[in-house]
Each structure stands twice: as structure tokens, then as C-alpha cells.
Amino acid sequence: MVVIALALKHQLLETDASSVVITAGVLSMLLSQPVARLLEKHLMPSIVGHHTPPPAPTELVEQQAQAMENHVIICGFGRVGQIIYRLMKQAGYPVIAIDNDATRVQEAISGGESIVYGSATSRDILKVVGIERARMLAVSFNHVQDAMTIITEARALNPPIIILCRTGDDTHLDELLRAGATEVIPETLESAMMLVAHALTLSGEPLAKVLRRLQETRDNRYGLLHGFYHGAYSDPDAEFTRALQKLHAVTITENSRASGCALDTSKLS
């Protein structure tokens, strides 16, 4: 419209012609949104691909779940979840997964996997996969609040069930254990421990001794790994950093008042 007004002002467009152009412009403005909606509904799917609707649990998967006993439930079917699923299945355990990614679920179902679409935080979904009869549940994703909900629901529906929970570090370890997790696996610490296990084994340490050392560390709630030397690039406000004991070296000379004192009396601890 601004362009038409300028054209009339500078006599580049006749009045009769401008009326036609203005009418066409108004009609195009009125029709633009309805046409855009029609294009989005009917044409765009053929251009960008059809959106996969959330699949409902298939009858086959539901029947499999109803027939399962002492099975393993995997919450989350991402990279970690799929690894757990495959290895447990390879070991001969009946296993079923839950995931809220519609495309992934559809692909997995097409591949013959036992998986249900939905949120593992839902009590109804947990019942669909037979939580009351399951022997173990594994939370494979790192989301503390969702994990807390899943643990609480699973423990209420099946008190003796074994619940494994993945987490990024040990910041929420005690909280998750109190909620009912049987074991909490902090991936940062476990990754470090696996590297140590390889290093010790390659250095000639007996495997049994290495495994015993790692288990002692786990039994001690990773206490040996809690201390952390902060560096110039450590984020003091990060939750992970705040949760760690800050290590700082202090030199105690022979004439120091703290010399010969226990840590709990020297005010250094």
C-alpha cells in the first residue's frame, strides 16, 4: 500500500489502475492467512516429510508386556538405554523399554523391539509394561526430577523391585537413594573408575583386586573421589562444583600452631 501511495503521489500510476491494484492487495491480505493454513496442512507435509504421529502401544507389545514376568524395564531408549536393552536381551533377560520420542519408538517397533510410547513418569505407562511383575527397572537418562518421580512410582507399585538410576555425577546420589533407588550410577565417576580399572589391569594388577578396589569405592559412596582441586576455569556457581569438597594445600611448618594437632582440632578440616 505504501508503494501504491508513492506511485500515485509521483503520478506513476493512474487512479483507475490504482483502484484495481488496491483491491487486489486487500484481497491478498484477507486471503493470505487462510491460504497459508491450507498450505501448511496439505502441501508442507509433502515437502518436509509427514510428521510421525505418536504411536499407541501395539497389541503385540501389550501382549508381550502382559506375559512378561521377572523382566527388565528400561526407561528411556536413547544411546544408553539401547545399550542396556541390547546387553540385557543378549544375556537372556526379558526386557521392555519406554520412550517418549515417537519416531524412535516407531523405528524400534518396526525393528521388532519391545517398546512402548509414553512417559516413564506416568503410573499408567508403568503398568502397561508390567511394573508390578518386573524384577528390575533402569532409568537410563540423566534427569533428576523425572528419575525421582519414576523411582517413587515404581517403588509404590512394586516394593521389592531393583531400581538402577543413571545420573551425571554424585550431586543427587543420596537424594535418589532416599527416594528408593537401589543403585545410583554417576557416569562421570564411573567413567573415571573404568579408566582406572583399565590402567591398573594393564599395569599388572590382578583383576579380582582391581574389582574389589572399585567396589570398595562404590560402597563408600565414592568418598575417595569427592575432593576436587578447583582451577581458574572452574565455575563456582555450577551445581556440580558446589557439591564437591574443595581441596586446597596448606603448608604446616614445624613452628606452626597446628603442628602436631589432629585435623578435627586444628580448624583445618
Which mean pLDDT values do the consecutive 10-residue runs of the chain (269 residues) have?
40 49 49 50 50 54 83 95 94 94 91 92 95 96 94 97 90 91 88 86 90 82 57 55 54 71 60
The answer to the question of residue 132 being in a domain is yes
Helix (H, G, I), strand (E, B) or coil at 18: helix
The answer to the question of residue 151 being in a domain is yes
Q: Give the pLDDT score at 217.
A: 80
Residues 98 and 173 in one domain: yes
Sign of the torsion angle spanned by Cα atoms 250, 252, 253, 258: positive
Residues 34 and 76 in one domain: no
Residues 82 and 171 in one domain: yes
pTM: 0.64
Q: Give the pLDDT score at 67.
A: 86
Residue 241's contacts (CB-CB under 8 Å, 6 or more residues apart) are 228, 230, 234, 235
Residues 42 and 93 in one domain: no
Residues 73 and 151 in one domain: yes
Residues 169 and 105 in one domain: yes
Q: Give the pLDDT score at 26.
A: 45
Residues 86 and 129 in one domain: yes
Q: Give the pLDDT score at 47.
A: 47
Range of the domain at 35: 2-48
Residues 160 and 119 in one domain: yes
Residues 44 and 158 in one domain: no
* Count: domains in the chain: 3
Record the cell numbers describing residue 60, joined without a space. 503385540
Q: At 79, which amino acid appears? A: R
Looking at residue 106, which CATH number applies to its domain?
3.40.50.720
Domain end, chosen from 181, 212, 236, is at 181
Q: Which residues of 182-206 are buried (b: 16+ CB within 10 A; e: fewer)?
A: eebbbeebbeebeeebeebeeeeee
The answer to the question of residue 216 being in a domain is no
Residues 13 and 35 in one domain: yes
The answer to the question of residue 9 being in a domain is yes
